[in-house]
Structure 1
Amino acid sequence: MDGRGGAVELRETHRLTGHADRAWALAWNPNLGAGASPVLASCGGDKTVRIWKRAPDGGWQCTDVLEDTHNRTVRSCAWSPDGKLLATASFDATTAIWEYSGGDFECVATLEGHENEVKSASWSQSGSLLATCSRDKAVWIWEMQPGNEYECVAVLQGHTQDVKMVQWHPILDILVSVSYDNTIKVWADDGNDEWHCVQTLTEADNCGHSSTVWSISFNQKGNRMVTCSDDCTLKIWDTSIDLSQPETGEGHESWQHVSTLTGYHGRTIFSAHWSSGDFIASGAGDDAICLFVEEKSSMVEGPSYRLILKKEKAHDMDINSVRWCPQDPRVLASASDDGTVKLWELRGNILA
């Protein structure tokens, strides 16, 4: 049921089993060939990455298991924009780069440098840069070189605690990181290949979070982002960056808080993701998934978001990741401490 009593449903369509430990993170391949079915990667505490594809009978099957490379939990996975490479970040302090070639996945590079657990990896929109972050409080930026070589071009120091996630802007070479130190940091190149923190969003100055920030996601236009936290809130941020003039490099520090969604989850919100259809999904430690959409009302000053659905007991344990399918904005994947990955379909008239 949605926030207005309309017939909106999040229906479980498939349950993917195979991980022998908690399922930590998910990534849909963003760039498939014409007519190809969606491809989903999942990673977990069993030190593996699983690749899932739709079977001829309409079900889903695990077609590849990437293993024997990481020797601890695989915490994050991320496809390159062209869909040809998969980065996997592990508690073993390494990030592996996998390439699909000859009908099989091959580990073509292992990135070392972080002092301990790597928590997240993210590719820039051009695919030439990869960002990683770690419990060591640092964010690293790697540049792809010929021959599957990767050079560290920047080590970003600024967070005072464990960095939980990094995410590149979908259009500009702007990087956002979120941390156990309760802050959100925006990083940009000054034009001379020097990376700097250009904005820090905190509770005191910018209506930020009061506890650990776990996740960040941009909308498709890149003019808004959503963050979620241990404080049980989601926050919406808006920018005045002129995205039609990305080459100017101006205004990177212009993110402003515009909305707080609170009272919907009873425990830590671990994941939030913005779909191409402009739905926001959140998954939390209360085992629930919530879906939100912007309220189209001229009576409210500034953007306002409403709950359209809360799926109680979506999993049997904490939900660590929710991700909308880029090829179908009404298909959602979720990963949980219960070891399962679930696929959901959003049905009904959201505007009713």
Structure 2
Amino acid sequence: MSQRAKGKRVCKEETSDTHSHGVRGYGRNSGDLDHEIAQLTKLRSEPNEHLRKATVGGLKMPVSTLRMLAARESNYSGRGRFSLSDSCHVLSRCLPIYGPQKVDKMQSRAYVSQFSVDGSLFVAGYQGSHIRIYNVDKGWKVQKDILAKSLRWTITDTSLSPDQRYLVYSSMSPLVHIVNIESAATESLANVTEIHDGLDFSCGNNDDNGNISIFSVKFSTDGRELVAASGDGAIYVYDLAANKVGLQIPAHEVDVNTVCFADESGHVIYSGSDDNLCKVWDRRCLSTTGQAAGVLTGHLEGITFIDSRGDGRYLISNGKDQSTKLWDIRKMTSNSPAFHRRRDFDWDYRWTDYPEEDRNLKHPHDQSVATYKGHSVLYTLIRCYFSPAYSTGQKYIYTGSGDCVVYIYDLVSGNQVARLEHHNEPVRDCSWHPFYPLMVTSSWDGVIAKWEFPGDRKEKSLSRPRRRSRRTMFY
């Protein structure tokens, strides 16, 4: 890691000289962009127009934090305070790239990272049955240490309820377990010290149980439902009040690796599968059509993760073709255009690097808005996200990587603005605090590490351990 990344105070502009990778659909100069999402991002993360036009001594002020503060004190905005976009502009320049500091170290692979909605709690799920909930506001003290029940291979996903009272966790099994995390006991041993209720996603069909492996599970915004992605090609919506599966959608012909709600309404669901497709499902018309509302085509390999921007319109996906793609669902089609790529050999992302001859291939019917490359989607279902709306205006996307690094890209320009290097095994998941310039990364080396923008504080960096072999890796 460079000296700059070990402790000097560096803002986003100072990391913009990092090697950038081409972004399909966007030019390198953001001034050339006219796509709607570029304008929306600009509105959410750039200073107030009055501040940008403010002058001192007849000279136009550059957009810097110091000048913005001076303009605010002079009330050039006419509001006497920063707008939300002003705040985003300041905060988004302070990327969480310093450290790291070790939060925890376990003897098994870390698969899941997740901040609660208010950022007060952090959840980490490990392959060795442990799920730990850390109280961020109390010095990252372990508030709950959960030993998972009926684990098959690993914890594949966790989700906190919106009221932060319950946690669900999934495995490669049709049972998703739910735990009350408000109880007084720190140790939560399944059905010994506490009850871990099992939510059965098999719909009572025992013949299919062997194919139902839950890879992704999410609470709805109102906390009444769970949506899950399964290895049997289906999406399941579980009604918690009725304690049963309320909806089963035969969504894909192969594994559904990822699923999420498009927005707070819960009507629209996004799914991503090993069939290389992202699909959009509108529950309001499923009963009459039984079909997806639309299909998004562009990835050349399977989808490992999807994250919604939360506006019911835009989403990003990580693909095993070593790219992240940005989508606008208004570009979706009713079905996927026929495209058959011939390969003389079987390639499995869990074992070998992506074939060199395929790296520059493009899908002839690519409907994505933009493509981001540079990270590695290998060995496991690597996750990607939009940066927080409150602090960055969702100006960035960030992703774990099979090469043990976390990558941060500028959403609009596609420039790689930061690389977080510490881990010596793949980083499957990472989570940006909803309000502060703080990120936590979880890796197969068992380390949970936090990265910050500490200002003038000097943080003690962790030494980077020697890289080990990664040849025995699965989901």
TM-score range, shorter chain: 0.7 to 0.9
Counterparts of residues 76-91 of structure 1 (less than 5 Å): 76-91=157-172
2:386 is equivalent to residue 270 of structure 1: no
Give the one of 5, 15, 23 matched to 1:2: 15
Give the one of 302, 326, 334 matched to 1:236: 326
Instruction: Kindly indicate which of the two structures has a greater share of residues assigned to helix.
Output: 2
One-letter code of the match for 2:428? N
Counterparts of residues 272-351 of structure 1 (less than 5 Å): 272-276=384-388, 277=392, 278=394, 279-295=396-412, 304-311=413-420, 313-328=421-436, 330-346=437-453
Match of 2:35 in 1: none
Distance 1:154 1:13 in 2: 43
Instruction: Summarize the Cα distance change of 1:63–1:9 in structure 2 as closer, same or farther, 3 Å threshold.
Output: closer
Match of 1:259 in 2: 370
One-letter code of the match for 1:210? L
Does structure 2 retain, via aligned residues, the 8 Å contact 1:79–1:85?
yes
**SS of equivalent residue, structure 1 residue 284:** coil
Counterparts of residues 133-172 of structure 1 (less than 5 Å): 133-145=229-241, 149-172=242-265
1:136: how far off? 2.0
**SS of equivalent residue, structure 1 residue 291:** strand
One-letter code of the match for 2:382? F
Distance 1:82 1:76 in 2: 18
1:46: how far off? 0.5
Instruction: Summarize the Cα distance change of 1:286–1:192 in structure 2 as closer, same or farther, 3 Å threshold.
Output: closer
Cα shift readout 1:170-215 (whole Å, capped 9, x = no counterpart):
333211111122111111213576764211222xxxxx11112111
Does structure 1 retain, via aligned residues, the 8 Å contact 2:168–2:179?
yes
**SS of equivalent residue, structure 2 residue 430:** strand
Aligned length: 313
Cα shift readout 1:148-179 (whole Å, capped 9, x = no counterpart):
x5221111113122111111123332111111
Cα shift readout 1:40-92 (whole Å, capped 9, x = no counterpart):
11112111211112375xx4232221115233321100112222221111123
Name the stretch that deviates more: 158-167 or 64-73: 64-73
One-letter code of the match for 1:78? S
Distance 2:179 2:303 in 1: 28
Distance 1:100 1:157 in 2: 33
Instruction: Summarize the Cα distance change of 1:345–1:9 in structure 2 as closer, same or farther, 3 Å threshold.
Output: closer
One-letter code of the match for 1:3? S
Give the one of 208, 216, 225 matched to 2:306: 216
Please, which runs of 5 or more residues in structure 2 have no aligned partner? 1-13, 19-92, 189-193, 203-208, 335-365, 456-475
Distance 1:70 1:43 in 2: 15
Distance 1:65 1:40 in 2: 12
1:95: how far off? 0.5
Please, which runs of 5 or more residues in structure 1 have no aligned partner? 32-36, 203-207, 242-250, 296-303
In percent, how many aligned pairs have the same letter? Answer: 20
Q: Which has the larger radius of gyration?
A: 2
Instruction: Summarize the Cα distance change of 1:101–1:63 in structure 2 as closer, same or farther, 3 Å threshold.
Output: closer
TM-score, structure 1 as length reference? 0.79
RMSD value, Cα:
2.9
One-letter code of the match for 2:293? V
Distance 1:210 1:197 in 2: 20
Instruction: Summarize the Cα distance change of 1:275–1:101 in structure 2 as closer, same or farther, 3 Å threshold.
Output: same
Does structure 2 retain, via aligned residues, the 8 Å contact 1:228–1:270?
yes
Instruction: Summarize the Cα distance change of 1:218–1:7 in structure 2 as closer, same or farther, 3 Å threshold.
Output: closer
Distance 2:375 2:180 in 1: 38
Distance 1:70 1:18 in 2: 23
Cα shift readout 1:220-279 (whole Å, capped 9, x = no counterpart):
4443211111111110112459xxxxxxxxx997x95211112x1245381101122212
Instruction: Kindly indicate which of the two structures has a greater share of residues assigned to strand.
Output: 1
TM-score, structure 2 as length reference? 0.60
Does structure 2 retain, via aligned residues, the 8 Å contact 1:38–1:53?
yes
Distance 1:118 1:141 in 2: 12
Distance 1:16 1:344 in 2: 10
Match of 2:113 in 1: 26
2:178 is equivalent to residue 97 of structure 1: yes
